[in-house]
Amino acid sequence: MIPQTNPKLSYIAHKNEIDTAIAAMLDAGRYILGEQVRKFEEEFAAFLGAKYSIGVGNGTDAVELALRALKIGQGDVVATVAHTAVATVAAIELSGAKPLFIDIRPDTFVMDPEKLKLALTNNRSASVKAVLPVHLYGNVSEVFKILEVASEFGIPVIEDCAQAHGAKMNGRFAGTSGVISAFSFYPTKNLGALGDGGAVVTSDENLKNQVTLLREYGWKERYVSHIAGKNSRLDEIQAAILRVKLKYLQEENSTRQNLARMYINGLGGLPVTLPVWGIAESHVFHQFVIRTSRRDDLKAFLKTHGVDTLIHYPVPVHLQPAYLNSLCGDGGLKQTEMVAGEILSLPMFPQLSTEQVSEIVSIIRKFFE
């Protein structure tokens, strides 16, 4: 079986370095917020070209803490998308705010800036306190257009970069255009730990200080809480692993892009919609997602031929039982709902071989023949 993703292979690829880094961390005897976290924070910020990176427990916490640092909470509304991992929306609600779902573009699967402007213009701006676009599948949202719209209403933009480590827009890395951003280091991400992990990134010193307080009970000094915070600390072991893997992120993103080119060239001419590779200067293909009206049949056909696929994401958040009463932008979420019925994520990870991609392409062509 060719897996859709396989984070274990990422560990194997860097096993010696990772094992050495973990051993050194264990010998140092500091297991919480020690040298490995501090150095990773510095190195990740430097990689992105940001001033600050604050390691936290996971990507959901990263979004929540970014919102709380901006004083967004009870009674506030955050504009985001329903075509995303539910973690994005869970984080909004954990902050005390509520989501306002904006429709997506059907070609890139990310927030439509025009639909955002329509929603904010039509008497919704009073309660909307932030815009939270999601850089999905490795592709960057139209963040500069979103920033233009948000600035008209005096609303900050928070970037959800959980699937876009190393992706760029107009020469800037994802996570460095808005006032603050959130990253996940879940094992399957382009920069993945071997467990949970996340980071908040900003170049605003006041926001950096707020997040630093919020991630550990609001402590300035131990055991004394100056604000109401929580426990969300990046683990020393995961930081040591991430420091190793960060060195290879650009190389592995380049491998993903080469595999994507093989897919695009091999699947050309078939009745499938292929990823748009043009809005972002550096789409990093966290997922390789195609669209076809025969999605379910193709998925079953690939499985019988030993190819695993996934659907990211089968049910838009606004149609899930927990969020049925959520606000939706003007005109509804027609594109979001249409896309959910047609998308399919093909195998994509840096250790996937070119021979395996050729085999997958051949099977898909056979299906449509």
d(CA 134, CA 286): 13
89 in a structural domain: yes
Residues 161 and 219 in one domain: yes
Residues 145 and 288 in one domain: no
Burial class (CB in 10 A: 0-12, 13-18, 19+), 151: exposed
Q: Tell how strand 288-291 and strand 128-131 pair up.
A: unpaired
Q: Which amino acid is at 295?
A: R
337 in a structural domain: yes
Of 214, 166, 266, 197, the closest CA to residue 70 belongs to 214
122 in a structural domain: yes
pLDDT digits (tens, 9 = 90+) for 198-247: 999 999 999 999 999 999 999 999 999 999 999 999 999 999 999 999 99
Of 344, 256, 279, the closest CA to residue 140 belongs to 279
Residues 218 and 257 in one domain: no
Residues 194 and 308 in one domain: no
Please state, as a whole number, how many other Cβ atoms lie within 10 Å of the Cβ of residue 28. 13
Report the pLDDT averaged over residues 339-347: 98
Domain count, the chain: 2
Q: Tell how strand 327-328 and strand 98-102 pair up.
A: parallel
Sheet holding 180-184, edge to edge: 52-56, 198-202, 180-184, 158-160
323 in a structural domain: yes
pLDDT digits (tens, 9 = 90+) for 26-76: 999 999 999 999 999 999 999 999 999 999 999 999 999 999 999 999 999
CB–CB of 288/348 below 8 Å?
A: yes
Residues 167 and 312 in one domain: no
191 in a structural domain: yes
Whichever domain contains 196, its CATH number is 3.40.640.10
pLDDT attached to residue 122: 84
303 in a structural domain: yes
Residues 137 and 27 in one domain: yes
Last residue of a domain, one of 227, 246, 265: 246
1 in a structural domain: no
pLDDT at residue 124 is higher than 70? no
Instruction: Print the SS3 string covering the chain.
Output: CECCCCHHHHHHHCHHHHHHHHHHHHHHCCCECCHHHHHHHHHHHHHHCCCEEEEECCHHHHHHHHHHHCCCCCCCEEEEECCCCHHHHHHHHHCCCEEEEECECCCCCCECHHHHHHHHHCCCCCCEEEECCECCCCCCCCHHHHHHHHHHCCCCEEEECCCCCCCEECCEECCCCCCEEEEECCCCCCCCCCCCCEEEEECCHHHHHHHHHHCECCEEECCEECCCCCECCCEHHHHHHHHHHHCCHHHHHHHHHHHHHHHHHHHCCCCCECCCCCCCCCCCCCCEEEECCCHHHHHHHHHHCCECCECCCCCCHHHCHHHCCCEECCCCCHHHHHHHCCEEEECCCCCCCHHHHHHHHHHHHHHHC
Beta bridge partners, 200, equal 54, 182
Phi first, then psi: give them for residue 300, nearest 5 degrees: -65, -40
Q: Which amino acid is at 63?
A: V
Last residue of a domain, one of 216, 246, 276: 246
d(CA 120, CA 102): 10
Residues 225 and 174 in one domain: yes
301 in a structural domain: yes
Task: Kindly give, in sequence order, each residue whose CB lies less than 8 Å from that of residue 66, ignoring residues fewer than 6 positions away.
Answer: 158, 180, 181, 182, 200, 202, 207, 211
Residue 362 CA from chain centroid, whole number: 30
Whichever domain contains 288, its CATH number is 3.90.1150.10
d(CA 116, CA 148): 11
Domain that holds residue 106: 7-246
Beta bridge partners, 291, equal 273, 343
pLDDT digits (tens, 9 = 90+) for 303-331: 999 999 999 999 999 999 999 999 998 88
Last residue of a domain, one of 212, 246, 280: 246
Report the pLDDT averaged over residues 351-363: 98
pLDDT bracket for residue 278 (50, 70, 90): confident
Residues 275 and 182 in one domain: no
Residues 130 and 268 in one domain: no
Query: To the nearest whole number, what is the mean pLDDT of the chain?
Result: 96
Angle at alpha carbon of residue 216, lines to 212 and 217, rounded to 5° = 115
Report the pLDDT averaged over residues 299-303: 98
Residues 233 and 258 in one domain: no
Residues 222 and 254 in one domain: no
Residues 123 and 270 in one domain: no
